Amino acid sequence: MKKKTKKLDALDINVRIAIAFTLTMILAVLMYIAFVK
């Protein structure tokens, strides 16, 4: 059980990093578009 929970925690961290990275990229694109306009 402990090993499974550790794996789930690692996946959860990876998901959070992926979401944060995606949001950052979206903000970067929006800022770029705003500056271009």
Q: How many domains does the chain have?
A: 1
How far is 9 from 15, CA to CA, in rounded Å? 10
Residues in the chain, overall count? 37
Per-residue pLDDT tens over the stretch 1-14: 566 667 777 788 89
Range of the domain at 4: 1-37
If you compute the radius of gyration of the chain from its CA atoms, what whole number of angstroms results? 16
Does residue 31 carry a pLDDT above 60? yes
CA distances from 15 to 10, 21, 30, 32, 34 (A): 9, 10, 23, 26, 28
In the prediction, which pLDDT does 24 show?
Answer: 98
